[in-house]
Amino acid sequence: MKTTAVLFATALAFAPAAMAQDLPDLGGKEIVVVTENAYPPLQFLDASGAAIGWEYDAMAELAKRLNFTVTYENISWDAMIPAVSEGQFDLGMTGITIRDDRKEKVDFSDSYMTSEMVMLVRGDETRFADKAGFAADADLLMAAQPGTTPFYVGVYEVLDGDEANPRIKLFETFGATVEALKAGDVDLVLTDGTAGAGYVEASAGGLKIVGEKLGTEDFGFIFPKGSDLVAPMNAGIAALKADGTIEALNKKWFLDYKMGQ
């Protein structure tokens, strides 16, 4: 891994101009990016209140290579897709799963990350060890943000397909679902494997992952329908994949970064 990092740093030191020549030039255009700052390690606020994360680093690299400037705005998850759809912002980022129903409202970039969904529980959980065990115990509760992929997977793959099932407790942010789990208010949170692993490592045994993987999800940036930014961003994402930048970001945020430190 150290060799990869060194090669990556060397490539960045000598190749930016050459890479820029092969990518669209947006001429310093200002792009207003909206995010939630509530989905570590993709984007979140650290202990000092600074907004950091995988997506911030990726967007900074895209801005440099495509020659645009970024202005960040903040919004809740449930308002993000409608706001971007209405053109209030140029781009949305918060680990948004690429889904056909969402494509009716917004355009997506190509996928910049693929993740498997996992079951996050308290470290001392013994009442269930998989989705069937959870579903079979009517006293067990799940936390989710409404309209998210974990919500729909919980409804249709873990429970009974009833979106109004009272066993699903709704929260505004992903962080709030994890806090409810830690406090014992709910018994299960579904999340992508990368975020889940980060929470487990930072929990000192307070959290663990159980059961089988519940499928995969691809993350993409969202844009108003017909946006002329989609093609340049896709070219930029392809460049980040090709030269190892995304691999380096994955190492930084999913392996090296320690939540809460």
For residue range 104-161, list pLDDT tens digits in order: 999 999 999 998 899 999 999 999 999 999 999 999 999 999 988 899 999 999 999 9
Predicted local confidence at residue 259, as pLDDT:
66
For residue range 191-247, list pLDDT tens digits in order: 988 778 878 988 899 999 999 999 788 999 999 999 999 999 999 999 999 999 999
Is it the case that residue 20 has pLDDT exceeding 70? no
Predicted local confidence at residue 11, as pLDDT:
40
Contact call for residues 125 and 187 (beta carbons, < 8 A): yes
